Amino acid sequence: MMKVFQAGLLTIGLAATALPASAQEVTIKVGTARAISVAATLYAMKHGYFKEAGINIDLDYINSSADVMAMVAQNQYQIVEGGVSAGYFNAVAKGLPVMMVADRTSSPLFHNIMLRPELKDKVKSAKDLKGRTIASNGPGSISTYEIGKVMESVGLSLADVEVKVVPFTQMGLALKNGAVDAALLIPPFTYQVQEQGLGAMFIDPDSVQKPQPVALAVNIINTDWANKNKDLVKKYYVAYQRGVRDYCQAYHGGPQRAEMIDLLIKDGIERNPENLQKYPWQSRVINGHVPVESVLDEQEFYIANKFITTKLPLEKLVDHSYVDAADKELGPFVLQNKDSKLPGCR
């Protein structure tokens, strides 16, 4: 995991919420999976949204939320931004103090199952993936769900392919050296792999996944910590949702886009700024709500594929109270670029 810069590099003055310079900041440890949508958090950090709330963000990059669920439950991370993995459902079933509280990434996702270049003329449909090896970023991860949904769309199942765990950052190399036949990649890695000739675009899982929108990545909190710090968590999500709104403006080509691209380049999420200019970004739900129908479908998938055994009611899985309070305080979202035709992030 790589440590990134802490919040508070630049403060913008909102007098109504700014704290005295002498006020002590509370540090919140946050783990986040690498993706373009992390720009919302980076932007909120740089612009002092958290600092104004008396919060210092200690941010780590993680490979998958599935890798760190125990760390959330043990309060080593207070918040994790990552995919809806089987590990989350297992943790809740065991009574561990974790809860989804906000969207992080949802359809349109612009993910892609990419092929080794030499297979692009041999593999014509998802049926041709039968018996082949496909890379996913974590065992029982949301990427595995996406692969499974693609296979189900042609009458097959996850059992008809071999899923190999490979970090997103290594999938291009795995395709190049033949360690896998295909890989489920997310932006910006899809663009990097394509630009470098390491893989060929094949199937966008969003084209077959139902229900829509897909709950891809979420915010998961330690509930023991949150229950003891309710006011702090509310302030966190006001700051967080401000960053999400800025992200959605940038998603639609707003004036924040150039600065967010700079942040993503600086943090190594992408190396080529031109890719971030010309390709679409992952969407987000503007009011922070996790797409709950998708969450329930993901649970059913993990049960069917024996990643989990317990079916849980929705109220045990999702709590929108923090983002609801934040959106009430922030008021209506008004899109700046009203000419944008892009779906999502509204």
CATH at 240: 3.40.190.10
pLDDT of residue 63: 82
pLDDT digits (tens, 9 = 90+) for 37-47: 999 999 999 99
Q: Is residue 226 part of a domain?
A: yes
* Residues 191, 310 within the same domain: no
- The rounded distance, in Å, linking the Cα atoms of 45 and 242 is 11
Q: Across residues 293-318, what is the average pLDDT? A: 98
Q: Are residues 227 and 326 in the same domain?
A: yes
* 305 CB burial (10 A radius; 0-12, 13-18, 19+): middle
Q: Which residue has the tokens 């042609």?
A: 154
Number of domains comprising the chain: 2
Q: Give the HSE-up count for residue 4: Cα atoms under 13 Å, Cβ half-sphere.
A: 28
Is pLDDT at 138 greater than 60 in this prediction? yes
Q: Does 72 share its domain with 91?
A: yes
Residue 150's pLDDT is 98
Q: Whole-prediction pTM value?
A: 0.89
Per-residue pLDDT tens digits for 168-210: 999 999 999 999 999 999 998 999 999 999 999 999 999 999 9
pLDDT of residue 7: 38
- Pairing of the two strands 79-83 and 215-222: antiparallel
Strand (E) positions, 63-207? 79-83, 98-106, 112-115, 133-136, 162-165, 182-185, 200-203
**Angle between helix 257-266 and 230-251 (nearest 10):** 110
Q: Would you say residue 15 has pLDDT above 80?
A: no
* Cα within 13 Å of Cα(85), Cβ side: 25
- Indicate whether 102 and 218 sit together in one domain: yes
Sheet architecture: strand order including 215-222: 55-62, 26-33, 79-83, 215-222, 98-106
Checking if the pLDDT of 4 tops 90, the result is no
Q: What is the mean pLDDT of residues 19-30?
A: 74
Asked if residue 5 belongs to a domain, the reply is no
Least confident range of 19-33, 264-278, 292-306: 19-33
CA gyration radius, the chain: 20
CB 185 within 8 A of CB 153: no
Closest to 72 in 3D by CA, of 60, 291, 46: 60
Domain check: are 317 and 286 in the same one? yes
Domain containing 200: what range? 112-207
CB proximity list for 205: less than 8 A, separation 6 or greater? 109, 111, 112, 113, 146, 147, 149, 150, 184, 214
Q: Do 95 and 31 share a domain, yes or no?
A: yes
Q: Are residues 192 and 43 both part of a single domain?
A: no
Distance from C-alpha of 101 to C-alpha of 326, rounded to nearest angstrom: 12
